[in-house]
Structure 1
Amino acid sequence: MQESGLQQTISIVLADDHSLVRDGIRALLEEEPDLDVIGEVSNGLEALKMVENKSPDILIIDIRMPELGGIETVERLNKNPNVKTKCIILSMHDSEEYILKSVQAGASGYLLKDTGKTEFVKAIHMVQEGGKYFSGDISNVLVNNLFSPDKSVNGKTASREDKNNPFDLTNKELQVLELVLAGYTNKEISEKLQNSKRTIETHRFNLMKKMEVKNLIDLSKKAHKYKLV
Structure 2
Amino acid sequence: MLNHIKIILADDHSLVRDGIKVLLETESDIEVIGEASNGKEAIALVNEKNPDILIIDIRMPEMNGIEAVEILNRQNTATKCIILSMHDSEEYILQSVNAGAKGYLLKDTGKQEFIKAIQTVNNGGKYYSGDISNVLVNNLLNPTSTTLSEVPQKKTATTNPFDLTNKELQVLELILTGLTNKQISEKLQNSKRTIETHRFNLMRKMEVKNLIDLSKKAQEFHLV
Fold match by TM threshold 0.5: yes
Number of aligned pairs? 208
Instruction: Please name the residue that 1:127 is paired with.
Output: 121
SS at match of 1:28: helix
**3-state SS, counterpart of residue 98 of structure 1:** helix
Q: Note if contact 1:177-1:204 (Cα within 8 Å) is conserved in structure 2.
A: no
Q: How does 1:53-132 map to 2 (within 5 A)?
A: 53-81=48-76, 83-132=77-126
Structure 1 window deviating more from structure 2 (147-156 vs 42-51): it is 147-156
In structure 2, distance between residues paired with 1:143 and 1:172: 22
Counterparts in 2 of 1:129 and 1:169: CA distance versus 1, 3 Å: same
* Change in CA separation of 1:148 and 1:182 when aligned onto 2, cut-off 3 Å: closer
Per-residue Cα deviation, 1:178-224 (whole angstroms, up to 9, x for no partner) = 49944569xxx9xx96555xx55432122335667542113356779
CA distance in 1, matches of 2:14, 2:196: 23
Q: TM-score, normalised by structure 2?
A: 0.78
The answer to whether the Cα contact below 8 Å between 2:5 and 2:52 also exists between their aligned partners in 1 is: yes
Which runs of no fewer than 5 residues in structure 1 stay unpaired?
157-166
CA distance in 1, matches of 2:124, 2:103: 11
Partner of 1:164: none
Residues 176 and 31 (structure 1 numbering): CA distance in 2 closer, same or farther, change over 3 Å? farther
Indicate if the aligned counterparts of 1:55 and 1:85 stay in contact, CA closer than 8 A. yes
Which AA in structure 2 matches 1:154? E
Shift of 1:147: 2.1
Would the aligned equivalents of 1:63 and 1:90 in 2 still touch at CA under 8 Å? Answer: yes
Aligned-partner Cα distance in 2 for 1:173–1:113 = 25
TM-score, length-scaled by structure 1: 0.77
Match of residue 148 from structure 1: 142
Indicate conservation of the 8 Å contact 2:5/2:31, yes or no: yes
- 1:44 Cα deviation from its structure 2 partner: 1.1
Calculate the aligned-residue CA RMSD, in Å.
3.4
Q: Which residue of 2 aligns with 1:174?
A: 171
Matched, 1:11 2:11: no
